[in-house]
Amino acid sequence: MSDAKTVVAKLVAKFPSLTGRVNAQRATRVWVEVDRQAFAGVFHFLVKDLEFSNLCMITGLDEGADLGFIYHLARNGGLMANVKTRCPKEESMQTITPTFPGGGIYERELMDLFGARIAGLPEGRNYPLPDNWPKGEHPLLKDWKPREKGAQDA
Amino acid sequence: MPDKERIVRVPIGPQHPALKEPESFMVDLQGEKISAVTLRLGYNHRGIEKGCEERTYVQDVYLVERVCGICSQSHSTAFVQAVEEIAGLELPRRAAYIRTLIAELERVHSHLLWLGVAGHEIGFDTLLMYTWRDRELVMDLLAELTGNRVHYGLNTVGGVRRDISPEQVPSILKVVDALEDRTKYYIELAMTEETLAQRLSGIGKLSKEDAVLLGAVGPTARASGVDRDTRRDDPYAAYGELEFQVVTDDRCDVFGRTVVRLGELMQTYSMIRQLVKQMPDGPITVKAPLRIPAGEAVSRYEAPRGEDVHYVKANGTDKPERVKIRAPTMANTQSVAKMLEDGYLADLPIVVAAIDPCFSCTDRMIAVKTHEDARTVGWEELVQYGVRWYRERGVDVSKIKMRGDSTA
Amino acid sequence: MVRWGQRKSPWILHFNTGACNACDIEIIAALTPRFDLERFGVLLKGTPRHCDIMACSGPVTRQIESRLVRIYEQVPEPKLVVAVGSCATSGGVFNGLYNVKSGIDQVIPVAAYIPGCPASPQAIIDGFAKLLKTLEEGK
């Protein structure tokens, strides 16, 4: 059984509610779709038990009433586990920085560009928008358009 | 320069002639040692990901290529690979080989560039002049093969836009031979010049544990003994058909990062010869639809600076739903503060330069805080401070005599 | 024009306003032995207060805009700005993206434009040579 298929099998064995929501897209890609309530458990299982010791990045998605989050994990040998979840825009996801201290920058990016709320993040500068960027304007939201072509004026 | 008794906050940047890119560091000094560092990024943020959603896939190939003016092939390839995966396209083998050839030539120009910049940051400008002159050999070759020195416009969804002709092969091999010879000399220089070893060793330390914990990638991670390389671990393009070693080192310092890049150059020359020798015949492109069916994919690529990750989500139209890019420098900046901690201010320029920072990749976007006792230090001023600091301690790399002319 | 006369070599300040780097590298490459911009007497200097010409790359990101203006103001008269590359000229491929002004001349006056993506070292040298000739001729 390939690496990817083994991981799929282990996930479903440990979390039966994931049946039908995990697949091996190819030899080095596993995709997992999980509800927010079950996210932490699945995430920690992948990181601690299945040794996905690398967080490549976190992708944000505007899904209307919710924000989508994809945590792109990887481990030695090349296998990736992409864990998708979603959260209503006015609610918070918990920070993953206790596990991945370097991961805060990906969370700050979501906060700036999508208005995501991340609970528990240590204090720090925002990233990547400029200091004079107007509050409440999150450019990667689907309905966000600059007021004029090019940079908005302060 | 710094006061010995108090903690002095020294904002540095954002205009750095030597580094060419705007970023900002706030450094807390105790005497001449750095006790804390905060990094302020964002000066290069342009809004590329949003731009990708508003443009077609074809237009996006040209936009994404320009995330970075050094590793443009990296970003362009990572992007089209994700799109090709979603669309279920099978890349012709010859196209895979050509992409890989340009990718490895890019690694050559990037690592030689780095060697020169590193030289400048420690006051060894002769090295900058020699390495950038050598680098011109590969720039000319890239221009001959693709039509441009950078931003090659080589990739398209489904393959490559230009073929390699048999007449070009001797040029490729000639450049590789010449640069391999020069690289051997640089390796000899690194291994035998005491002053250079003294200047680069024991600084910017990053333990293997920290490298993994903080998510370091590329030569930065490999110089801390982390055995990861996307080309071997998650092969793409033609890498699955090539023989090569992943170069690691256990020094965990700036000297280690130098050794790793030099070793990678040697591996790359071998790979280029294999690519040219084994290049299969056949088409260079496969027909790709303008509208990409709904789906998503993650593409990974080993850029000169490390792992580059692209996520693409398609929605059945001719424009992507979402494009997310994580360039290698973004991963490596998380380790920089650690590397600088408890080190000397004099070492800041070379320690930062040793991750081969491409803030352009990172920001695809330095607030100078005023404190009592704070001074803004220009980057060049800091570089010169470092050069003087070491000279006062008997380490003067500008005195190193370099051998002869390139074979060009 | 007293300063031009006093100094045989114009001192250049290179400022990146959010570029991809390609032009910046080509500017530095123009100073390396193969291209040798220095034979025209051009020297790259690190500080605005001593420079004659600002060579700017990049489309001007929002974050860097006020710094660009501040640096420009620190350069003593007479001063000239050269926009190096397509992005500095008009925003280039980044034209219209939400965080860029789309060109140096949207922010400060520009005397010369050197096109290209990136502007090649030859184009850069050609551009500077033409500009210097114009200055010599007192235009």
What is the overall mean pLDDT for chain B?
A: 89
| CB-CB neighbors (< 8 A) of A149 in chain C | 96
**What tens digit of pLDDT does each residue of A27-80 get?**
999 999 999 999 999 999 999 999 999 999 999 999 999 999 999 999 999 999
CB contact under 8 A, A133 and C61: no
Strand extents, DSSP E, chain C: 11-16, 43-44, 53-57, 80-84, 112-114
Element (H, E) at C136: helix C121-136
Amino acid B13: pLDDT: 56
Q: Are B106 and B186 in contact (CB under 8 A)?
A: no
What's the alpha-carbon Rg for chain B, to the nearest Å? 22
Residue A149 touches chain C, beta carbons under 8 Å: yes
DSSP H helices in B147-253: 169-192, 194-200, 208-213, 218-222, 230-233
**What tens digit of pLDDT does each residue of C14-69 get?**
888 888 889 988 988 888 888 888 887 788 776 788 888 999 999 998 878 888 89
**Mutation test of the interface with chain C: which of B16, B21, B41, B44, choosing the one with the most C Cβ atoms within 10 A?**
B44
User: Which chains sit next to C, with 3 or more Cβ pairs under 8 A?
Assistant: A, B
Walk across the sheet containing B295-303 and list its strands.
B295-303, B306-314, B322-326
Closest-CA distance of chain B to residue C18, Å: 4
Amino acid C128: pLDDT: 87
| CB-CB neighbors (< 8 A) of B235 in chain A | 78
**What tens digit of pLDDT does each residue of B237-266 get?**
999 999 999 999 999 999 999 999 999 999
Longest dimension (CA), chain B: 70
What is the homologous superfamily of the domain B48-329 according to CATH? Cytochrome-c3 Hydrogenase, chain B (1.10.645.10)
Amino acid A48: pLDDT: 97
Q: Show me where the domains of chain B are located.
A: 7-44+333-399, 48-329
| CB-CB neighbors (< 8 A) of B50 in chain C | 97-98
Q: Are A84 and A61 in contact (CB under 8 A)?
A: no
Average pLDDT over residues B188-210: 95
Is the pLDDT at C101 greater than 60? The verdict is: yes
- Residue pairs spanning A and B at CB distance below 8 A: 84
CA–CA separation, A78 and B238 (whole Å) = 16
Residue C67 touches chain A, beta carbons under 8 Å: no
CA–CA separation, A106 and A128 (whole Å) = 10
- B140 confidence band (pLDDT: 50, 70, 90): very high
Q: Are A118 and A95 in contact (CB under 8 A)?
A: yes
Closest-CA distance of chain C to residue A150, Å: 4
**pTM of the prediction?**
0.92
CB contact under 8 A, B15 and C98: no
Relative to beta strand A66-74, strand A54-63 is antiparallel
- C1 confidence band (pLDDT: 50, 70, 90): low
Residue B45 touches chain A, beta carbons under 8 Å: yes
Residue A75 touches chain B, beta carbons under 8 Å: no
The percentage of chain B sitting over the pLDDT mark of 90, rounded to a whole number, equals: 74
| Helix, strand, coil content of chain B in percent (nearest 5) | 50, 10, 40
User: Helix C22-30 and helix C121-136: axis angle, to 10°?
Assistant: 60
User: Which chains sit next to B, with 3 or more Cβ pairs under 8 A?
Assistant: A, C
Is the pLDDT at B5 greater than 60? The verdict is: no
Is the pLDDT at A117 greater than 80? The verdict is: yes
**What tens digit of pLDDT does each residue of B345-397 get?**
899 889 988 998 875 654 432 222 233 345 566 677 778 889 999 999 999 99
Closest-CA distance of chain A to residue B389, Å: 32
CATH 3.40.350.10 fits C11-119, yes or no: no
| Tokens 């030597």 found at | B18
**What tens digit of pLDDT does each residue of B84-94 get?**
999 999 999 99
| CB-CB neighbors (< 8 A) of A29 in chain B | 297-298
Is the pLDDT at B299 greater than 70? The verdict is: yes
Q: Show me where the domains of chain C are located.
A: 11-119
Of C20 and B76, more confident: B76
CB contact under 8 A, C100 and B44: no
Residue B47 touches chain A, beta carbons under 8 Å: yes
Is the pLDDT at B194 greater than 80? The verdict is: yes
CA–CA separation, C58 and C83 (whole Å) = 8
- Count the neighbouring beta carbons within 10 Å of the beta carbon of residue B275: 26
Long-range contact pairs involving B210-214 (C-beta distance under 8 Å, separation at least 24): B210/B335, B210/B338, B211/B252, B211/B335, B212/A53, B212/A54, B213/A100, B213/A101, B213/A102, B214/A101, B214/A102, B214/B334, B214/B335, B214/B338
CA–CA separation, B224 and B227 (whole Å) = 9
**Mutation test of the interface with chain C: which of B21, B46, B58, B127, choosing the one with the most C Cβ atoms within 10 A?**
B46
CA–CA separation, B67 and B41 (whole Å) = 15
| CB-CB neighbors (< 8 A) of B307 in chain A | 56
CB contact under 8 A, C32 and B21: no
Q: Which of B38, B40, B50 sits opposite A140 (nearest CB)?
A: B50
CA–CA separation, A67 and A86 (whole Å) = 6
- A153 confidence band (pLDDT: 50, 70, 90): very low
CA–CA separation, B165 and B149 (whole Å) = 18
β-partners of residue B401 are: none
Phi then psi dihedrals of residue B260, to 5 deg: -65, -45
Amino acid A149: pLDDT: 46
Closest-CA distance of chain A to residue B383, Å: 26
| Spatial CB neighbours of A135, under 8 Å, sequence gap ≥ 6 | none
Q: Are B310 and B113 in contact (CB under 8 A)?
A: no
Strand extents, DSSP E, B243-379: 295-303, 306-314, 322-326
- What 8-state DSSP symbol labels residue B377? B
